[in-house]
Chains A and B, each alone.
Chain A
Amino acid sequence: MTKTLYDKIWDAHVVGQRSDGATILYIDHHLLHEVTSPQAFEGLRLTGRSPWRLGANLATPDHNVPTQNRAAGVEGIEDPIAREQIITLDRNCNDFGIRQFDMTDPRQGIVHVIGPEQGATLPGTTIVCGDSHTSTHGAFGALAQGIGTSEVEHVLATQCLVQTRSQNLRVEVTGRLQQGVYAKDIVLAIIRLLGTAGATGHTIEYTGSAIRSLSMEGRMTVCNMSIEAGARAGLVAVDDVTLSYLEGRPFAPDGELLERAERYWRGLVSDPGAEFDLSFELDADELKPQVSWGTNPELVVDIDGVVPEPDIFDDPEKEEMAVRALKYMGLEPGAPMTELRLDRVFIGSCTNSRIEDLRIAADLVRGRKISSALKSAIVVPGSGLVKAEAEQEGLDQIFSDAGFEWRDPGCSMCLAMNADRLYPEERAASTSNRNFEGRQGYLGRTHLVSPATAVASAIAGRLADPREFM
């Protein structure tokens, strides 16, 4: 019988069936951070349970950490509640013996950046984390899913997750990306096509020439936002790009073990003729830079488009959603997107904070200045190692010369749990993944874009088409 990639990984991890009919799925790797883990550790303490397999876990603080004044360490965190949460992660990792890259470790960073960077994210594995953007790791042909805190506790205690098999959805991206168009534009266009719930109950496999030509960083950007279409996981089949990325990374196998692993990994593709429950197609040749205009990631237009009229939606529920979004975003239908003036620009998040993102952004801004009309423009690398690599290449200097602030790694303004945020009615171009109401700050207005579009917009002081700067 032919199998999809998802089916193969699923089948290789089924432990058995519980009496309630649910499947017990073995979890190879578990990533933890400070926000969704404290209650899980507390649960272990209350029940006297301990982690099943310590080596499966890797923790790092990311959501809450400040992106400035990091030399002061945990004590330097001004917000006492945030500080307590980070100290709690330190304590939990110490008490239970879990490996952690703490706030002062040079390897600290956003969980979804450090897993792949360390080679802890391996093809064909099952990976979970108490964070919906765990789908990022699917770029390696790993089944990676976001889970709730009770499930974090469940995985810590049993090394398993209890689940039912999802359906298979394929998105084939044909053709090739044109200049100024990137992985972020692909995934925004896919969510625009599928809708925010279009993939609920499904795992998405991204296929096609445009996906195959992406780097691992680009594939991670695409898989990262699978959840924004409702999918729990996204996948890209293993190929040479995957294997060469893994070479020499600290947690990846080497020598004979690597050869053996590679033989297995090469088979991590959907069989020819494997059946998908749903299929969609997108033509990369025709794709322009994308920008969100509303308050969820399906409300997206081309950068050279206009704010749409709500009646473009046939469905009254969606029309109402659009009306509310226009009001919240302070927009008039018909206004060109590139006329919208900005207050802030954010380059970062688990979607777009890897070295390639920073290189693309730096290339475009080199020798230019960002608009003085902006209140702030920050670049937040995804990890300490990304930061160091960028500095070695002199990217920090390019950003600083242009007027960007160069910060320390963390989730930062993607969800504004730390001090980096929007203030009421401020408008931002952001390389993050969610434009929900208040996501980047109370009453803040977010436009999701690629790093190149963010840079073009920072230079212009309004949303701008990066192709005009190339």
Chain B
Amino acid sequence: MTKTAVHSNDATEETATRSQWWDVWDQFKTHRGAMVGLIIFVSILLFVVVGPWVWTIDPTHIDIRARNQGPSLAHPFGTDQLGRDIFARMMAGGQVSMAVGMTAMALSLFLGTLIGVLAGYFKWLDGPLMRLTDLFLALPLLPLLLVIILLFRERLSSVFGPEGGIFILMVFAIGITSWMQAARIVRGDVLALKEREFVLAAHSIGTAPRKMILRHILPNVMSPIMVSATLGIANAIITESALSFLGLGFPPDFPTWGRLLFDGVDFLQQYPERVLFPGIAISLTVLSVNYIGDGLRDALDPRIRGR
């Protein structure tokens, strides 16, 4: 009896430096699709962020004499109808698409977590906040996004400049229309956590609600938040490119993947590759992010982990 106790004590000491995130990572590594997705996503991220340091052609540089060229050593993806280098434009467009995706995801997660935790933790806020969530879920989102962009584009452009204005508008619009799923999931988890003994223990030693949420509740709802984060990036990138594709996104001389695809449609018959490059980039990014989300969900589920 004592022996086993000592033994188990040793074991905990040995694994003390090993946090649960290492277990998650070990489980994540066994999901082949998620690993491939992670590698592809990191490569796209590197292409987009580090690429412009290596490939120094200005994406907005117009060289009208070199227009509509096919792929060559000087221009690996060719040039567009104004002689701009498509390879450089893909990098610049990717930067914007990724930036919009990540910032909008961060905003929607912040809103979703805030509302979810508040509704789950404070009983008197639960009713009103959940009615608000239901209301947002009943709004027709894509039509509403189109309307918001149309109506507020010019005013914001005059304040923050054409690119900054539309960036803020885009992030704000996508973020404010996509927080509902995260809020519902977080609320459900918080409601379950509130009944657990450790919360009762913390409560009985007089922990204030703010401390309780930050120290005990939030760390325990991290896993659904992380899964929603990956899905949120995918959703935001698709929404941004859909809006750009409908002609209601970024201004024409400001490349994003959706905008490049939209511009490429006009030259579909002669140069189909101009549609393919941005389309494949969007699809690969979203596909890899979705696979990462799938792997994360499995890895964060303690019932599956260690099997």
A and B are partners in one complex rather than unrelated chains: no
Q: Which A residues fall within an 8 A CB radius of B? A: none
Residues of B within 8 A of A (CB): none
